[in-house]
Structure 1
Amino acid sequence: MNKSLYALVLSSLMIALGVVLPYLTASNPQLGSVFLLMHIPALFAGLILGPKYGFLVGVVTPLLRSLIAGMPPLFPQALVMSFEIAGYGFFAGLIKQLLPKKDLSVLIALVAAMILGRAVYGLAAWIFYPLAGLNFTLKIFLTAAFVTGLPGITIQLVLIPLLYFGLKRTQALDGLENV
């Protein structure tokens, strides 16, 4: 199969996962900002498919989920999340591409993408939240980015490498990375 077509199909699967996974916390919408389930597919797409597809998954997922499920609200939350999650996918793929092909590069790319994606979130929220009449301060940013989401960050740091190395061991990722 054509690698680009395969990457597009996998990207579509990641977008679908990003739309569906938050339903696990739908009974309590506040849990979405704790477990960060929508972030996982974009980070994973960036690592296995590269920055272009990671970015694509990150941009589309929150907007599509907002249009389908009404959550998160399109403006400003889904818009801000679109920037943030696109940052995760893009930076995960870019940093992994730039590092030597070692197992540790996956973890370094993941952590760096999580930090840089949160910086993108802060910038986007700083721009769009006041336009929507919402208050956004450094304290709100730090709490939302690093305190509230700590369980989700932990899930990402455990689950994504497990999935990545499990698929790598089965050779399912051979010839696919950075399409």
Structure 2
Amino acid sequence: MRTKKLCIAGICLTLCMLLPFLTGQIPQIGNALSPMHIPVLLCGMLCGGTYGALIGFIAPILRFMLFGMPPIFPIGIAMAFELAAYGMASGVIYRALPKKAINIYISLISAMLVGRVVWGIARFIMALAFGIEFSFQMFLSGAFITAIPGIICHILIIPILVMACQKAGAVLKANEQEIKVG
């Protein structure tokens, strides 16, 4: 089971590196669609909160080290905490709820809200510590208003992927065995 999760987490990390290239030529589209968020949310649901958080935290930092994007400060640092929260929350909430289609949406939307709040807190702390401008209006704009296309994209794509993995037995069997052992 651990090997399977490690492989899935590795695939998700690889997708975090590759998906932004699809929108990389037009940064505004990349910022709006947030392609790196998809594999992190998926990793949390497929592998659990710990793997999701780890992949989420590593992804923006590794991508900066490899490709120079996203800029590490303040965007990449705040994004690392945001994605870690996405991965952790999606995994924990998904595991806690019965495996019904509606609960995939509940897990996803809850994780997206938690991650955005964590992003805002991280940006606020950096603003206080380093004198970077960050207001409540900037939080609302960055976390919700400009993110609407990405939010819609995630709500459409991620549940389909999770349900496909459930049908393939990649999610349910792994989580059921973990719950019985743990």
For the aligned pair, the TM-score class normalised by the smaller chain equals: over 0.9
Q: What TM-score do the two structures reach when normalised by structure 1?
A: 0.93
One-letter identity of the residue aligned with 2:52:
G
Q: Which residue of 1 aligns with 2:123?
A: 125
Deviation at 1:174, TM superposition (A): 4.3
The answer to which structure has the higher helix fraction is: 2
Q: Which residue of 2 aligns with 1:36?
A: 34
Q: Tell me if structure 2 keeps the 8 A contact 1:76–1:132.
A: no
1:176 to 169, 174, 177: 174
* Higher RCO structure, 1 or 2 (CA under 8 Å, sep 6+): 1
Stretches of structure 2 that go unaligned for 5 or more consecutive residues are: none
Deviation readout 1:108-133 (Å, 9 max, x if unpaired) = 11010000110000000101245444
One-letter identity of the residue aligned with 2:115:
G
C-alpha distance in 2 between matches for 1:85 and 1:164: 18
Q: How many residues align?
A: 177
Report the identity percentage.
37
Q: Tell me if structure 1 keeps the 8 A contact 2:82–2:119.
A: yes
The change in CA–CA distance for 1:95 and 1:143 in structure 2 (over 3 A counts) is: same
What's the secondary structure of 1:176's corresponding residue?
A: helix
Deviation readout 1:22-80 (Å, 9 max, x if unpaired) = 11111112222101101001100111111111101100101101111101111221111
Q: Which residue of 2 aligns with 1:149?
A: 147
What's the secondary structure of 2:174's corresponding residue?
A: coil
Q: Which residue of 1 aligns with 2:163?
A: 165
One-letter identity of the residue aligned with 2:169:
Q
Q: Which residue of 2 aligns with 1:5?
A: 3
What's the secondary structure of 1:175's corresponding residue?
A: helix
Deviation at 1:163, TM superposition (A): 0.8
The change in CA–CA distance for 1:132 and 1:61 in structure 2 (over 3 A counts) is: same
Q: Which residue of 1 aligns with 2:19?
A: 21
Q: Tell me if structure 1 keeps the 8 A contact 2:78–2:122.
A: yes
C-alpha distance in 2 between matches for 1:144 and 1:8: 32
Q: Tell me if structure 1 keeps the 8 A contact 2:38–2:158.
A: yes
Deviation at 1:102, TM superposition (A): 2.4
C-alpha distance in 2 between matches for 1:23 and 1:130: 33
2:52 to 51, 54, 66: 54
C-alpha distance in 2 between matches for 1:34 and 1:114: 14
C-alpha distance in 2 between matches for 1:76 and 1:129: 9
CA RMSD across the alignment: 1.5
C-alpha distance in 1 between matches for 2:12 and 2:96: 23
